[in-house]
Amino acid sequence: MPKSLDTSGGLRWHLRALWRRGQWRDTTRQIADWLATTQPASRHLLLIGGSAGWMMSSLWLQRFSRIDLIDLDPYAHRLFRWNHGRALRESGTELHYADFDALGSLDSLLKRHPKASIFFDNVLGQHLFRIRQIERAEADLARIAKQLKGRDWGSVHDLFSGPTNPLKLPVSPITQFDALREPNGLVADGLSGTPLHHRLLAQVGGEPDWVDHLTSEVFPVGTRSRLIAWPFLPDYAHWLQAGWVNESKRG
């Protein structure tokens, strides 16, 4: 398993996120800038896989009157309060927490909260590495947009990740691209040629053998998204995809 993929939650993730906070600052800011452009339809948010919200914007969270953080990680909610509690008290946002498998029970979760907006916070790209079955992960991820049809939802998730050579080209999160989910796949503005991951790899000095997190077709056709580089380690980078689907407003 690639070295970053066993750390999607738990104590190891928290220690790493705390330690690398400075190096991840530009990526976190780019996520916050993108979040600021979203227009969630509800003031109730289901935040799935939010962990401690190390890369989450307090300012964005303050828009909601109620947040339900759902994360398998038993450390998540205390650390989430540590990172965002003060801001949420200031905005009068209620925070609830539950630790069940939100992807496995997505249908019942959506039924229980028919009006809430949903945000998958860097969790969909980890699905393959949690369940370790490619075909099942592909099927689960392909089903998500159908399960969420008519709902207001967004996601930031790993698209590709892999080793980089810092001597070849230092990983820099300055680069970001807007992208569009077209019927035959994901197309990024300003990055012509295929496959997309080869183009993205070249932007961050990537070495061959990048991992595909199977998420490039999670959003429905027509969804615009932003691709953001994340220098996870000095020699290992991720490309994140951030998108929002406002179907509840269209319908």
Ligand X SMILES: C[S@@+](CC[C@H](N)C(=O)[O-])C[C@H]1O[C@@H](n2cnc3c(N)ncnc32)[C@H](O)[C@@H]1O
> Where on the chain is the footprint of ligand X (CB under 6 A)?
8-9, 13, 17, 48-56, 70-73, 76, 101-103, 121-123, 126, 130
What is the Cα–Cα distance from 238 to 98, expressed in whole angstroms?
28
For the CB of residue 221, give the shortest distance to ligand X in the complex, in Å. Answer: 25
Is 163:236 a contact under the CB 8 Å cutoff? yes
For the CB of residue 121, give the shortest distance to ligand X in the complex, in Å. Answer: 4
Q: What is the dihedral of CA 33, 34, 35, 38, to 10 degrees?
A: 130
For ligand X, the closer CB: 20 or 43 = 20
For ligand X, the closer CB: 55 or 218 = 55
> Which residue has 């300012």 as its token pair?
59
What is the Cα–Cα distance from 80 to 116, expressed in whole angstroms?
20
Is 186:180 a contact under the CB 8 Å cutoff? yes
Q: Are strands 224-233 and 176-182 parallel, antiparallel or unpaired?
A: antiparallel
For the CB of residue 191, give the shortest distance to ligand X in the complex, in Å. Answer: 25
For the CB of residue 150, give the shortest distance to ligand X in the complex, in Å. Answer: 22
For ligand X, the closer CB: 117 or 126 = 126
For ligand X, the closer CB: 90 or 101 = 101
For the CB of residue 194, give the shortest distance to ligand X in the complex, in Å. Answer: 28
What is the Cα–Cα distance from 187 to 166, expressed in whole angstroms?
27
| Burial tier of 249 (Cβ tally within 10 Å: 0-12, 13-18, 19+) | exposed
Sign of CA dihedral 154, 232, 57, 12: positive
For the CB of residue 7, give the shortest distance to ligand X in the complex, in Å. Answer: 8
For ligand X, the closer CB: 38 or 191 = 38
For ligand X, the closer CB: 53 or 206 = 53
